[in-house]
Amino acid sequence: MGQEVEVQARDGSFKAYLSRPAAGGGAGVVVLQEILGVTSWGRSIVDMLATAGYYALAPDLFWRMTPGVQLDATKPWEFAAALDYNRRLDFNSALDDIRASISFLRGMPGANGKVGNVGFCLGGTLSYLTAANTDSDASVSYYGSGVLGTLYQMPNIKRPAILHLAGADEYIPKEAQDRIAAAAKANSNVTVYVYPNAYHGFGCSDYERHNAAAWQLSLQRTLALFKQQLA
């Protein structure tokens, strides 16, 4: 369904995976990668959103380090490499790439000009930062472990955003989740959902920790937000 495209950034260009809605027309959604890169599962999310009627794009946010990274979390050496990419990623440059991706989708023939985003893991942190630092029309963050360290950004979120948290997340313990929820209460644009007994990465069907019930409920909420805000 999808294809690889080139997106022009401030300091170069990068590859991204794009899927278009079959009927044409509609809004855009930027899909922000896990620490593993733009994997087959990430591309399946792009395709799913296109089936739902969106122009969906997954930018390669590691392109300045190694273009085309696709790692397997079940292999310890590849997971270690993913953690290293995560550690070395320049978030300001990643936000520039996300802005370029938003502009790319707004310029698609037939697009209505509205663009949201959804991110997982590393992408969950970036989705939150995108909500606070760009003109994205709606943002959905899944288990972003970097949100806690950037709670000072919460007041900057001016458009609707969802933070999906896993109740049993080993990277975002309950105390951290409580602090995130408390900060979000001060901003009416932000809604926090916690999924009891779900683990970090519960959305990814490639993982044993995948929680189908939590994923389906979170996906309903995500698509409802996009339907409301991106029409």
Q: Say if domain 3-229 classifies as CATH 3.40.50.970.
A: no
- Name the E strands within the chain: 3-9, 12-19, 26-32, 55-59, 111-120, 138-142, 161-166, 190-195
CA distances from 183 to 62, 123, 138, 154, 192 (A): 30, 20, 19, 7, 10
Q: Which residues contact 113 (CB under 8 A, 6 or more apart)?
A: 27, 106
Residue 74 is classified by DSSP as T
- For each of the chain's 231 residues, which pLDDT tens digit applies? 799 999 999 999 999 999 999 887 899 999 999 999 999 999 999 999 999 999 999 999 999 999 999 999 999 999 999 999 999 999 999 999 999 999 999 999 999 999 999 999 999 999 999 999 999 999 999 999 999 999 999 999 999 999 999 999 999 999 999 999 999 999 999 999 999 999 999 999 988 889 999 999 999 999 999 999 999
Using CA atoms, how far apart are residues 66 and 87, in angstroms rounded to an integer? Answer: 14
Residue 60 annotated in active site: no
pTM, full prediction:
0.97
Using CA atoms, how far apart are residues 1 and 51, in angstroms rounded to an integer? Answer: 9
Can you tell me whether residue 191 is helix, strand or coil? strand
Residue 204 annotated in active site: no
Residue 72 annotated in active site: no
- From 60, 121, 164, 204, active-site residue: 121
- Among 44, 177, 55, residue whose Cα is nearest residue 107: 55
- From 137, 164, 169, 204, active-site residue: 169
Q: Which residues contact 181 (CB under 8 A, 6 or more apart)?
A: 165, 192, 194
Residue 184 in tokens: 């979000």
